[in-house]
Amino acid sequence: MEQAQEREGRPSRRQAFQPGRPSGKTQGDVVLSVERVSKSIGRKPIIRDISFDVRAGEIFGFLGPNGSGKTTTIRMLVDLIKPTGGRISVCGEDVNRSPERALRHVGCIVENPEMYSYMTGWENLAHFARMQPDIPEARIEEVVDIVGLDARIHDKVKTYSLGMRQRLGIAQALLGSPKLLILDEPTNGLDPKGIKELRAFIRELADGGMSVFVSSHLLSEIQLMCDRVAIIGQGRVIAVGKVEELVAQAETYTLWLVSDPERAEALLREHPDARVVGEDEHRIDESLLAAMPGAIVTSMEPDAVPGWVERFVAAGIGVQAVHRASPSLEELFLKLTEGERLG
Amino acid sequence: MANQLALIQNETLKVWKKKRFAVIVLILLVLVPVFVYAQLKIAENNKDKFTDWRAELRQRIIDNTNALSSDRVPEEWKKWRVALVQQLQYDLDHDVNPNTPNAVTFTNSFLRNAVGMFIPLMVLAVASDLVSSERSTGTIKMLLTRPVRRWRILFSKLVTLTLYVSLIIVATAAVSYLVSGLVFGYEGWREPVFVGFRLAGSDIDTADVHAITQGAYLLMLMGLVWFSAMVVAILAFMVSVLVRSTAASLVTMMAAVISGAILSNMASSWHSAKYLFNVNLDLTVYLQGSPPPIDGMTLGFSLAVLGVWAIAALVVSFAVFTKQDILN
């Protein structure tokens, strides 16, 4: 669709080293295209008319709370569930009509990376390698190396930890050198270190030109990892766009930690360029509030902050900390769904 | 397009690694000696009863030959007596005590007794979780998201099932021959056995009775046992596609097989029961010439009924497996 000629002259992994990641990236060709897809089970509509595209080399977030239709959508992407209407194509091949061609470009982990526990990691990989054309043994060695499972690859999978199963799942997904990697809640059950490693790993893959489709209900996860995001709620796509553009739609908060909160709050209320935000009005990450107990949450232009510092100091109120909190995607999600409900 | 052989290799390997076949062989190795011991006790008991078996054989030959010259004996009975005399004469000539079992006759009788329950049970150990285990462990999500059409995956599982059913039959015969041979000796392949008895109403039609060797008889038995085992396997295969839980699919099939055995004993006056698959499973009755469970059943009839059931099960399996949504 957009700039189909990109394929030949893709700037490849060079982009990776540009610091401001997504903004500088040109829009690649469409790897996954979801057009007006819907699914009903019985008479109950589960997915209603959703559309979005995933482009080459981008990390695409798929965000929605549990029960929003996220899992159903992912299963439709890989032909586990047949859509009632619409079309899903990968690299131009219809997933439901010719899965044997479309799925060649896809590697995926749907929910947990379940492998045959009575076989070794290597036997599992060999099993899945035989299901795809032209995967030599060297490629199995390669993916084992990529995910760093060399030491335990000949052990039975039932002896693996969750993190190792996750790695084996990713190795399996990478076997066929896919153009699109689909990961369903990949950080589930990983420790913080594992999550960080996974994030870096996914970024590396995307820099190598692979598109990565990541679903999550963890909002911060998507913010940290993704270039673009589709937000899904009640079976509908509520918004699709660059993460920061969507985030910009929601309000930014300024948190003040001062020596005399009561006077400071009174002062803030006197001036029209600041607004004190009540406790149930905002949805700032709780861990952030825990680090600044008793902080006053305000909404103001960034330019107004230095003036306010001066004002507080002049009034004899000590400023202990000022913090700008970007809105969480949860907040954004609520904002978008509220609009939906009202409209 | 992935090679169909590679897919079959995958499925065969999975059943093997699950050690299903190893368990079956182990069960055989434990149970067959028990039956061999029971058979040995029977043989010893007979030996006590008939001290001079050669004299007894000679007496029977004389009795039957006399009956042949009698006018009062109907013609078809004469044929049967001719056959019997032949068998007895063979035994006498070769110094074989017909009451002493050998490895081949033991294997034959073991197969005949195993066809109704024992073999189906072992077949179910492989068949009933062939598909359902992929669903209950979640590996089906990996399996079906690979670039292979679903019918090819199911087909490779079906071929694997056929392979293992054949292997189970061969293993059963082999284990029972090898174990019983230790006690009864490995002879007996060339001994004659009489087949071709047919039940016509209350009379036995002996027109086609003829002698074949025990070895040939064993091969025929194995073929019939294989056919009925395949039908059980294919039905279990269908249940395993339809039901997510392995336990549920195993219990369903067990119930069907056992109820067949019960029905065979009590449904002789309920004629339409003969269209049920499970009363037709014991195909060996036709070879022995013992009465079928329900009047009007013949070998051809049973094969046809079982065949129709199997084909229907395959149609359902493939239709469901290729279309169903994998929701969990």
Residues of A in contact with B143 (CB under 8 A): 131
Residue B238: what pLDDT? 95
Angle of the B20-49 helix axis to the B150-184 helix axis, nearest 10: 30
Q: What is the pLDDT of residues B36-89, one digit of tens each?
A: 999 888 888 877 777 777 888 888 888 888 877 777 777 666 766 777 777 777
CB contact under 8 A, A127 and B6: no
Amino acid at B272: S
Question: What backbone phi and psi angles, to 5 degrees, belong to A74?
Answer: -60, -40
Taking only the tens place, the pLDDT of each residue in A110-120 is 988 899 999 99
Nearest residue on chain A to B12, alpha-carbon basis: A127
Q: Which residues in chain B have Cβ-Cβ distances shorter than 8 Å to A119? A: 13-14, 17
Asked if B145 contacts A80 with a C-beta cutoff of 8 angstroms, the reply is yes
Integer Cα distance of A180 and A142 in angstroms: 18
Give percent of chain A with pLDDT exceeding 90: 45
The letter for the amino acid at B132 is S
| pLDDT above 50: residue A23 | no
Residue showing tokens 């070794």: A120
Residue A284 has pLDDT above 90, yes or no: no
Query: What is the b/e burial string over A193-215, where b = at least 16 CB atoms within 10 angstroms of the residue's CB?
Result: ebbeebbebbbebbbebbbbbbb
Q: Within an 8 Å CB–CB cutoff, is residue B6 touching chain A? A: yes
CA separation for the pair A127, B7 (Å, rounded): 9
Q: Are A115 and A168 in contact (CB under 8 A)?
A: yes
Q: Enter the pTM of the model.
A: 0.83
pLDDT above 70 covers a percentage of chain A that reads 89
Residue B3 DSSP symbol: -
**Distance from C-alpha of A240 to C-alpha of A86, rounded to nearest angstrom:** 18
Q: Do B142 and A103 touch (CB under 8 A)?
A: no
pLDDT at site B43: 82
Which segment of A182-196, B87-101, B166-180 scores lowest on mean pLDDT? B87-101
Q: Give residue B203's pLDDT.
A: 60
Tens digits of residue pLDDT in A43-73: 889 999 999 999 999 999 998 888 888 989 9
Give the pLDDT score at A18. 37
Residue whose pair of structure tokens reads 């699709």 in the numeric block:
A240
Residues of A in contact with B20 (CB under 8 A): none
Work out the minimum CA distance from B302 to partner chain A, whole angstroms.
Answer: 39
- pLDDT band of B180, cuts 50, 70, 90: very high
- Inter-residue contact A243 to A22 (CB < 8 Å): yes
The minimal CB distance from B18 to the residues A81, A118, A176 is found for A118
Q: What is the pLDDT of residue B204?
A: 61
> What are the CA-CA distances from residue B18 to residues A116, A118, A144, B12, B250 (Å)?
10, 6, 24, 10, 17
Nearest to A80 among B2, B14, B144 (CB): B144
What is the band of A84 on the pLDDT scale with cuts at 50, 70, 90?
very high
| Beta-carbon separation of A75 and B139 below 8 A | no
- Which residue in A79, A104, A130 has the most chain B C-beta atoms within 10 A of its own C-beta, making it the best mutation to test that interface? A130
* ipTM for the whole predicted complex goes beyond 0.85: no
Of B159, B168, B157, give the one whose Cα is nearest residue B119. Answer: B168
Helix axis angle, A137-147 relative to A162-174, nearest 10°? 140
Does the CB of B327 have a partner CB in chain A at under 8 Å?
yes
**pLDDT confidence of residue A12:** 40
- Chains A & B: contacts with CB separation below 8 Å: 84
* A206-251 per-position pLDDT tens digit: 999 999 999 988 777 888 889 999 999 888 898 898 988 887 777 7
B146 to A116: CB separation less than 8 angstroms, yes or no:
no
Quick one: pLDDT at residue B3?
84
* Residue B301: Cβ within 10 Å count: 16
User: What pLDDT is recorded for position A25?
Assistant: 41
Helix, strand, or coil (residue B107): helix
pLDDT of residue B76: 62
Closest to A77 (Cα-Cα) out of A66, A91, A67, A64: A91
Burial per residue of A172-182, b for 16 or more beta-carbon CB atoms within 10 angstroms, e otherwise: bbbbbebbbbb
State whether residue B18 sits within 8 Å of chain A by CB. yes
Q: How far apart are CA A303 and CA B11, in angstroms?
A: 67
DSSP labels, B54-68: HHHHHHHHHHHHHHH
The string of pLDDT tens digits covering residues B276-309 is 888 888 888 888 767 777 777 888 999 999 999 9
Q: Which residues from A are below 8 Å from B137, CB to CB?
A: 114, 116-117
The pair of three-digit structure tokens given for residue A319, joined into one six-digit string: 């400023």
- Phi and psi at residue A209, to the nearest 5°: 105, -5
Helix/strand/coil (H, E, C) string of A199-268? Answer: HHHHHHHHHCCCEEEEEECCHHHHHHHCCEEEEEECCEEEEEEEHHHHHHHCCCEEEEEECCHHHHHHHH
Question: In this complex, do A75 and B1 lie within 8 Å of one another by their Cβ atoms?
Answer: no
Non-local CB neighbours of B233 within 8 Å, separated by 6+ positions = B123, B124, B126, B127, B161, B162, B165
